[in-house]
């Protein structure tokens, strides 16, 4: 493997971080081009083994793949540098967007633009559901798992971690499917070397686990209840975030709106729309939610503190998983049972994303959405008199526009925001004439 200088690491991984728009598929494609095709830094098999390994982990797989490739090239410091350069550009943009949103989000014209963004978000989630269902639902039992995942969340309101755990257990117990991981490199290391690798992994687990959780413990002991609540919520989210960002958003959206009341449903949809326009992993929406909640709770000081807390709780475990498990990639990436568990989780996540799409759509099309029923059979239900025809018109306009733009999310969001402004101006003109 080619020896890479630190200057090259900064330049190439900084370039990857600035270009990491468009979701994990586009981000992984950028990494493959930069690290495998244009430079002889990694061979194809090593890259694919790393990708298979990262897909078995909770958290944003593109960010973790970037961290893993940095670790392969320059050890722990290289992995830390690559991961930070992937996340920090988007985090800085998110902080600016939250501030602007809090200052100008209540202006009627801005609200009209965001109505267009909300309509685009419905289509974006629908596209994610379509892509994932084609990949994940290959057998009858996968469809059953997806349906059960949807019913568990929508109708019964079961906790998302419980649904994911049940899917993982089912996947581990069922017969393993045919598995086509990239061929593992033969291990010629003597037993002593393998023992050293295990010791290194345990040391990484202790060090990074302590770095991740100790600040949250200190916040709890210091009586900073709001900050500690933000930190522990997103730390829990990081552990169960299998199946991509949209799966986690289904759980997070309802939790931060209905349970914690940190932000409103409309603000949650706006947060996702704005997060789609930034570089870096989509899970940076957690930072947006935390910073907006911090501004509402305590002004600028809490705005910064909640953002740092959310980023720490969300992304520190990514480094933990990579640095503890990276020495065992060849073995882990070739485990059929783990692949089976991941397939079951992915099938259930399809139902979870369907639940997210319905939740988003109801809150876009209706101005009032209440809870129908109580206890374990409570589900969201719209007030029919609060139907918003303008929102419906924009939601109908978004799918053909998304098709014409062929996955260019930034332009979809921008054009839909413009359409929102046009419709608002037209309605204002008609009202003036009337």
The predicted-structure confidence for 46-92, as pLDDT tens digits, reads as follows 887 787 678 778 888 889 999 999 999 999 999 999 999 999 999 99
Please return the burial class of 388, using the count of CB atoms within 10 Å of its CB with bins 0-12, 13-18 and 19+: middle
**pLDDT over threshold 90, residue 222:** yes
What confidence tens digit (pLDDT) does each residue in 142-183 have? 899 989 988 887 877 777 778 878 888 888 887 655 555 444
Which has the higher per-residue pLDDT, 54 or 284?
Answer: 284
Report residue 338's pLDDT band, with 50, 70 and 90 as the boundaries.
confident
Helix-helix angle 61-104:265-275, to 10 degrees = 120
Q: Copy the structure tokens of residue 387.
A: 């139907």
pLDDT tier at 306 (50, 70, 90 boundaries)?
very high
Half-sphere exposure of 187 (CA within 13 A, CB side): 14
pLDDT of residue 186: 45
Average pLDDT over residues 209-236: 94
Q: Is residue 383 pLDDT above 70, yes or no?
A: yes
- Separation in Å, CA 410 to CA 57, 86, 206, 415: 28, 19, 40, 9
DSSP 8-state secondary structure symbol assigned to residue 89? H
CB neighbourhood size of 422 (10 A): 13
Least Cα distance to 317 among 68, 20, 58 occurs for: 58
Q: What per-residue confidence (pLDDT) applies to 333?
A: 58
Q: At a CB cut-off of 8 Å and minimum separation 6, what does 157 contact?
A: 376, 378, 379
**Quick check: 268 and 75 in contact, CB under 8 A?**
no
The larger pLDDT score, comparing residue 69 to residue 25, is at 69
Highest mean pLDDT among 174-178, 251-255, 343-347, 401-405: 401-405
Mean pLDDT in residue range 351-355 = 81
The pLDDT value given to residue 227: 94
Q: Does the pLDDT of residue 11 top 90, yes or no?
A: yes
Identify the pLDDT of residue 188: 39
Say what the pLDDT of residue 245 is: 65
Predicted structure pTM score:
0.76
Where would I find the H helices in 222-284?
Answer: 225-239, 245-254, 265-275
As a whole number, the mean pLDDT across the chain is 82
The predicted structure's pLDDT at residue 79: 94
């Amino acid at each position: 493997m080619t020896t890479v200088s630190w200057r090259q690491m900064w330049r190439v991984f900084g370039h990857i971080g600035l270009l990491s728009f468009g979701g994990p598929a586009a981000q992984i494609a950028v990494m493959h081009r930069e690290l495998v095709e244009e430079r002889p830094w990694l061979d194809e098999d090593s890259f694919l083994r790393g990708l298979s390994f990262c897909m078995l982990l909770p958290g944003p797989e593109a960010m973790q793949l970037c961290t893993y490739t940095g670790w392969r090239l320059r050890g722990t410091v290289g992995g830390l540098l690559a991961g930070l350069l992937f996340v920090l550009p988007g985090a800085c943009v998110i902080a600016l967007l939250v501030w602007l949103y809090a200052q100008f989000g209540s202006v009627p014209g801005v609200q009209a633009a965001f109505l267009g963004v909300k309509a685009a978000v419905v289509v974006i989630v629908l596209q994610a559901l379509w892509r994932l269902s084609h990949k994940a639902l290959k057998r009858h039992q996968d469809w059953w798992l997806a349906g059960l995942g949807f019913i568990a969340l929508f109708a019964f309101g079961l906790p998302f971690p419980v649904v994911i755990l049940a899917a993982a257990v089912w996947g581990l117990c069922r017969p393993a499917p045919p598995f086509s991981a990239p061929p593992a490199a033969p291990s010629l290391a003597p037993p002593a070397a393998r023992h050293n690798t295990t010791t290194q992994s345990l040391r990484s687990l202790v060090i990074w686990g302590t770095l991740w959780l100790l600040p949250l413990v200190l916040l709890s002991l210091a009586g900073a209840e709001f900050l500690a609540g933000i930190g522990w919520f997103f730390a829990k989210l990081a552990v169960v975030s299998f199946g991509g960002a949209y799966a986690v958003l289904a759980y997070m959206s309802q939790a931060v709106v209905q349970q914690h009341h940190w932000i409103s449903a409309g603000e949650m949809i706006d947060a996702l729309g704005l997060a789609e326009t930034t570089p870096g992993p989509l899970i940076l929406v957690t930072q947006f939610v935390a910073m907006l909640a911090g501004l509402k709770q305590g002004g600028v000081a809490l705005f910064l503190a909640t953002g740092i807390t959310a980023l720490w709780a969300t992304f520190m475990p990514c480094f933990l998983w990579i640095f503890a498990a990276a020495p065992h990639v060849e073995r882990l990436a070739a485990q059929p049972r783990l692949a089976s568990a991941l397939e079951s989780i992915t099938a259930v996540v399809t139902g979870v994303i369907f639940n997210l799409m319905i939740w988003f759509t109801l809150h876009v099309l209706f101005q009032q959405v209440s809870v129908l029923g109580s206890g374990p059979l409570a589900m969201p239900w719209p007030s029919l008199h609060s139907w918003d025809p303008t929102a419906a018109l924009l939601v109908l306009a978004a799918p053909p526009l998304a098709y014409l733009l062929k996955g260019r999310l930034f332009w979809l969001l921008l054009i839909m925001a413009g359409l929102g402004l046009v419709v608002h101006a037209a309605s204002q003109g008609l009202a003036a004439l009337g």
